[in-house]
Amino acid sequence: MSRKSSRESSPNTSPRAARRSSSPSSSNMKNGTTQKYKVAIIGSGNWGSAIARIIGVNVNNFDHFDKTVKMYVYEEIVDGRKLTDYINEDHENVKYLKGYKLPENVVAIPDVVDAAKDADVLIFVIPHKFVPGVCKPLKGKIKPSAIGLSLIKGFGEGPDGSFILISNQIKELLSINCSVLMGANLATEVADNKFCETTIGCQDKRSGLILKQIFHSDNFRVTVVPDRCTVEVCGALKNIVACAAGFADGLGYGDNTKSAIIRIGLKEMIRFCRAFFGDGMQLTTFFESCGVADLITTCFGGRNRRVSEAFVKTGKSLEQLEAEMLAGQKLQGYQTAQEVYYMLEKKKQLERYPLFTAVHKICSRQLQATSLVEYLRLEPDDMDYEVQHTLVQLMFSTTLSLSCSMFELIIFEILSVFDANSRYFYWKLVIYSMLFMLIFIIPFYIGYFTISNSQLIERPIYVKLVSIVSYLIFLYIFIKTGDPFPIATPKYGLFSIEQVLSRIGVIGVTLIGLLSGFGAVNYPYTSMKMFMHDVSQQHIQQLERKLIHNYDMIISKKKKIAQAEQQARLQSSSASIWGLIKNLSGSNSLNQLKSDCKALEELTRQLFLELVDMRQMQQRKVWSQTWKGQYFNAIGYVFSVYLVCKIVICIFNIVCNRVGKTDTVTKSLEIAVKYIGFEVDDVQFWSQHISFILVGIIVVTSIRGLLITLTKFFYAISSSKSSNVIVLALAQIMGMYFVSSVLLMRMNVPLEYRTIITQVLGDLKFQFYHKWFDVIFLLSATMTTLFLWVSHKSNTLVDGYDKEHTN
């Protein structure tokens, strides 16, 4: 078949497709009526027209679709004639898909409301920046029961300037559900009827089936998955990677570099999805057409790649090239790169996405295209965080739920939920289970996973044996932990609750003291305006220029190194004495060059970090002017007062060897009654309610605070190999932390509610733990203050110096 005839033929006329007309179970669908589904296409660009060729044929293959497909066409005059006239009379979109016939049942309509008003299925296929403009007139004019489908690859702008998935934007603008279709689908190849695949992301099975019927054909194979967000995010992000591929082509780099770009791009896409759209994300979605396949297609054949190549080769602006090369079609990649860049900058996540960062900077001419590889080298290694091991997941969640149960039981004590015997039973059950996890299960598996990951020992039986030995060493060290502290209770057996808890208490209370001391100082420091300094845009630009200059120097030095090495290789082949002498002096200058390069790289790294700090400070300053910023500033003052009081009380307690015996609430009530003349009729009632609120606040903030810290820590150090061990270590820390919190919190509940807690925790030296907490808190708060003071001073000095030199 000739190319011409293939172009003009309908995309799917196979008998198999025709046979489907009587098949679907949903033939008389909506509410049991025989009303037919009307399909409308909103958009008629390159892709919109290609897909109209398939839709026009497919609606004829099923009885339950209306045969007419309305297509909204943004009216344009082409060679003195309306584009809608071309489509309705000649059945060809001469501007966006020249040379391909559209089915006659596809009717071009220049008014978007007319096109969409009675449709049951609305297919959106326009460049993403036009979405609000096209959707706004449709509000309230379309069927409320209509379903939407977005074929648009890009992100929309949310109400607060953040970005939003286009399907969600459509949903918000039109109050309809919106699914997505993305895949390795270059419009002209689809129009040529060449085999390809695509992915529909749709959560509702019935809508998924209807949508599949509208698109599926022998040469356009549709797979429906429920993971809508991942499908859509893939479609948007692959355009950024396509720009990087285009830059590499423009620079004349080979296929290996392009493969590296595809691989790194895919990693950043997965990382992005996991970080911002993690709920329900399935890794398998990346293996569908919308993932890997689209990435490959776009990096070899797409418009974004083509224009980016020309951008490097010609030096013209992207806008100019878009106009010159695409004849009205629109690029998505560089806009998406900009949107993603600002979002990542806001979330302080830029370092984790060097490819996305480089693309935006190259497009906006902040960087030269030659710097792309430098950025690719910054790609974080081996950051596959996902903990796949079911046992590890189970151990972590068991520890977390036991921790929460302990806090729940404290609240039950205050509120007197259940009778005392049941509460006592549950306390015992939870504490014993927790100690069993912390002493036997988790430490054993930490050792086991560390040893098997290290791959030093190959045979599984030896791995187990060494794990048992390392576990016994842990047990010995754990028992010995108690020796330096006055917690010995020799009358109890080695594995009694008192012996185990007293040791866990030492570790846990130390941890709580350290974190509380750090948090109490760091929180006011980071949230109060008085500790923020001004960073001028000029200063940032200066740093950026320095950075670019450094990158250029590194590249030129690396070139020289490569040349010198090549020369050295050539000279070493001539074995004369002079050759050897020359070689020697050459190797000296080569070494010099290498050490210069190393020093420059280190300097550049420092500059990069400084730049990140500056940007963060600039954002914090802006944030501090917002309502939220003002609120946090006020809270910062409250915390400072708390910090000072806490430090004074700690010093007083340590110096006077004092431990309060009364809980905070009763003490405060006593003071209120005694000194302020407060009239409290029912102290027990009030102390119960206030304790309940106080304990609730402590519980929520400590769980939240610890989980946030643990997550940050996990992200900072985790890798695919170590993630199991790290999650288990975090579970161990979390368990110890929360058991010790109960131990300390006991003092915050009035005496009458402490009885069962005290009975269950056993004969512990409670007073020691409170004193120990005071000591560690004081140390931690002092060290943090000193550290922050020194870094604040040095920042202010650098700022002053820079300001003088900038002016």
Ligand X SMILES: O=P(O)(O)OC[C@H](O)CO
Ligand Y SMILES: NC(=O)c1ccc[n+]([C@@H]2O[C@H](COP(=O)([O-])OP(=O)(O)OC[C@H]3O[C@@H](n4cnc5c(N)ncnc54)[C@H](O)[C@@H]3O)[C@@H](O)[C@H]2O)c1
User: Which residues are tagged catalytic?
Assistant: 238
321 binds ligand X (CB under 6 A): no
Q: How far is the CB of 234 from ligand Y (least distance, A)?
A: 12
Q: Which of 36, 38, 70, 128 binds ligand Y (CB under 6 A)?
A: 128
Q: How far is the CB of 180 from ligand X (least distance, A)?
A: 13
Q: What is the 3-state secondary structure (H, E, C) of 102-126?
A: CCCCEEEECCHHHHHCCCCEEEECC
Q: Cβ closer to ligand X: 12 or 198?
A: 198
Q: Which of 64, 95, 303, 503 binds ligand X (CB under 6 A)?
A: 303
Backbone angles phi, psi at 675, to 5 degrees: -95, -30
Q: How far is the CB of 332 from ligand X (least distance, A)?
A: 6
Q: Cβ closer to ligand Y: 184 or 402?
A: 184
Q: How far is the CB of 275 from ligand X (least distance, A)?
A: 23
Task: Classify residue 93 by burial, with Cβ atoms within 10 Å: 0-12, 13-18, 19+.
Answer: buried
Q: Cβ closer to ligand Y: 186 or 299?
A: 186
Q: Which of 53, 70, 153, 271 binds ligand X (CB under 6 A)?
A: 153
Strand partners, 196: 220
Q: How far is the CB of 504 from ligand Y (least distance, A)?
A: 56
Contacts with ligand Y, 139-158, as mask; x by CB under 6 A: ------------xxxx----
302 binds ligand X (CB under 6 A): yes
Q: How far is the CB of 43 from ligand Y (least distance, A)?
A: 5
87 binds ligand Y (CB under 6 A): no
DSSP 3-state percent helix, strand, coil across the chain (nearest 5): 70, 5, 25
Looking up tokens 């060809």 gives 92
Q: Cβ closer to ligand Y: 285 or 702?
A: 285
Q: Which of 74, 155, 407, 427 binds ligand Y (CB under 6 A)?
A: 74
Buried residues in 275-288 as b, exposed as e (16+ CB within 10 A): bbbeeebeeebbeb
Q: Which long-range contacts (CB under 8 A, 24 or more apart) does 484-490 make?
A: 485/768, 485/772, 486/765, 486/768, 487/764, 487/765, 487/768, 489/763, 489/764, 489/765
Q: Which long-range contacts (CB under 8 A, 24 or more apart) does 324-329 make?
A: 327/95, 328/45, 328/76, 328/95, 328/96, 329/45, 329/46, 329/96, 329/303
Q: Which of 330, 464, 533, 621 binds ligand Y (CB under 6 A)?
A: 330
Q: How far is CA 737 from CA 121, 266, 509, 714, 775, in A?
A: 54, 38, 7, 17, 17
Q: Cβ closer to ligand X: 322 or 663?
A: 322
Looking up tokens 């090239």 gives 321
Around Cβ 99, how many Cβ atoms within 10 Å? 14
Amino acid at 429: L
Q: How far is the CB of 339 from ligand Y (least distance, A)?
A: 13
11 binds ligand X (CB under 6 A): no
504 binds ligand X (CB under 6 A): no
Q: Cβ closer to ligand Y: 6 or 583?
A: 6
DSSP E strands, 36-101: 37-42, 65-72, 77-78, 81-82
Contacts with ligand Y, 353-372, as mask; x by CB under 6 A: --------------------
Q: Which long-range contacts (CB under 8 A, 24 or more apart) does 88-93 make?
A: 93/44, 93/49
Q: Cβ closer to ligand X: 332 or 550?
A: 332
- What is the three-class DSSP state of 65? strand
Q: Which of 58, 60, 169, 185 binds ligand Y (CB under 6 A)?
A: 185
125 binds ligand Y (CB under 6 A): yes
Q: How far is CA 504 from CA 442, 486, 710, 761, in A?
A: 14, 14, 19, 12
* Nearest residue (beta carbon) to ligand X: 302
Task: Determine the interface stretch with ligand X among 23-31, 181-189, 528-536, 568-576 (rule: CB under 6 A).
Answer: 181-189
Q: How far is the CB of 305 from ligand X (least distance, A)?
A: 6
Q: Cβ closer to ligand Y: 74 or 523?
A: 74
Q: Cβ closer to ligand X: 185 or 624?
A: 185
Q: How far is CA 460 from CA 207, 390, 449, 464, 566, in A?
A: 50, 19, 12, 6, 48
122 binds ligand Y (CB under 6 A): no
Q: Helices then strands (H, E): number in the chain?
A: 30, 12
198 binds ligand Y (CB under 6 A): no
Q: Which of 49, 61, 297, 624 binds ligand X (CB under 6 A)?
A: 297
Tokens of 401: 């739920």
632 binds ligand Y (CB under 6 A): no
290 binds ligand X (CB under 6 A): no
Interacting residues with ligand X between 221 and 260 (CB under 6 A): 239, 242
Reference 214, options 277, 125, 288; nearest CA is: 125
Q: How far is the CB of 297 from ligand X (least distance, A)?
A: 5
Angstrom distance (rounded) from CA 293 to CA 185:
9
Contacts of 799 (CB under 8 A, 6+ apart): 533, 534, 535
Looking up tokens 């057409």 gives 289
149 binds ligand X (CB under 6 A): no
Task: Determine the interface stretch with ligand X among 63-71, 301-309, 531-539, 641-649 (rule: CB under 6 A).
Answer: 301-309
Interface with ligand X (CB under 6 A): 153, 184-186, 239, 242, 294, 297-298, 302-304, 332
Interface with ligand Y (CB under 6 A): 43-48, 74, 96, 125-128, 130, 133-134, 151-154, 185-187, 328-330, 332
